[in-house]
Amino acid sequence: MALKINIIKRKLLHNNVVFIDGIAKSGKIVIASILNTLKNCENFSIRWRYNNYLKFKNFRLLDENLAIDLVLQDIQILMIENCLSRNLNFRKYDLSSVNNSLKKKEYYKNLKIKDNKFEVEKIIKKIKKKKNIIPIMVDDFFPNCTGKFKYFFNFKKIIMMRSPIGIFYENLTKNRVHKQIIGHPWTIGFHYKKNGKKIPWFVDKKEIKTFFSCKKIDRIIMFLNSEYAPYLNKKIFKIKKTKILFLEDIWQNPLRVVKTIAKFLETSMTSFTHSRLKSLELPRKNLDKDYQSKLVFLKKKLNNEQFKKIINMEEKYDLIRKFNQI
């Protein structure tokens, strides 16, 4: 019999962490790259594995206390290694690159720091004193935080939302869901085995037969119902220390949104913030025209039943956005 032990939840060097959450293509990268430009903010990190820890816990495949500590352990190491410029992204054009960070010069300077006990202790003292904002991008995380995982509600979080029409269009035209289904090497999903078949994680056991009998569009709808529908649940808006943002609002009035974020994080914009908005081509033009073209495209591609399902999600989204305007 396996030894039953109770994993102790570690205490971070500080709790000035902000999570950026939302379904894929909801605008997380956009908002995270803007956070990079705010005062006292570290370069944002992408941590898809947290989502899998949570799902494995919900499937009872991973001990809850262990799953929580694995997340905290990673955040703790991330804080220290940021100050060593270890495991950071130095690619020139990636939005997550340190080259697009306000602290670019500092990260390059940190590469010269020797990795020894003395220097690490100096770094730990510096982290505790400065308490810089640590932005961490996750995927499909907070709507699924149950039980002890509600501990993460204690941290600040930005939850990105986007029109289901836009997200469905992206998934249909770029084969994103298909890659998840086949288990492409560059995807973060997982599969389970049932009756000798390889089943993607978002398919409920009761819907396996339906999944294998339906076509591409119905599978994307099934994916959205599993991954996006939880964000349309009213419960998500009751989570404390949360700022809900809509990608369309960022496109329309980015400056107002950024000011709201800066206030939420108790920091301020810099001159680099304005440059970043310009490089992201914000604000955007012809949004209504672009939306209508996507709507017409989907109406041609989907049958009446499929289109109705997407419109129902869109109506829920519009109602939520109406009552949660910045």
Quick check: 261 and 268 in contact, CB under 8 A? no
> Which tens digit of pLDDT belongs to each residue from 23-74?
889 999 999 999 999 999 999 999 989 999 999 999 999 999 999 999 999 9
pLDDT at residue 195, rounded to an integer? 87
Residue whose tokens read 């409920």: 204
> Which tens digit of pLDDT belongs to each residue from 257-286?
999 999 999 999 999 999 999 999 999 999
Nearest-10 Cα torsion for 288, 293, 296, 299 = -100
> Which tens digit of pLDDT belongs to each residue from 97-111?
999 899 999 999 999
pLDDT at residue 188, rounded to an integer? 86
Q: Tell me the one-letter amino acid at 90.
A: F
Residue whose tokens read 């495991």: 87
The average confidence (pLDDT) of the chain is: 94
pLDDT at residue 171, rounded to an integer? 93
Distance CA 3, CA 8 (A): 15
Q: Which two tokens stand for residue 314?
A: 């869109």
Residue 251 confidence (pLDDT) above 70: yes
Quick check: 220 and 177 in contact, CB under 8 A? yes
pLDDT-derived band at 1 (thresholds 50, 70, 90) equals: very low
pLDDT at residue 317, rounded to an integer? 95
Residues β-bridged to residue 136 = 19, 45
Residue 92 confidence (pLDDT) above 90: no
pLDDT at residue 137, rounded to an integer? 97
Query: What's the rounded mean pLDDT across residues 6-25?
Result: 95
Rounded to 5°, the CA angle 84-87-91 comes to 110
pLDDT-derived band at 241 (thresholds 50, 70, 90) equals: very high
157 three-class SS: strand
pLDDT-derived band at 3 (thresholds 50, 70, 90) equals: low
> Which tens digit of pLDDT belongs to each residue from 175-193?
889 999 999 999 888 999 9
**Phi and psi torsions of 244, nearest 5°:** -90, 125
> Which tens digit of pLDDT belongs to each residue from 128-184?
999 999 999 999 999 999 999 999 999 999 999 999 999 999 999 998 899 999 999
**Taking the model in full, what pTM does it have?**
0.95
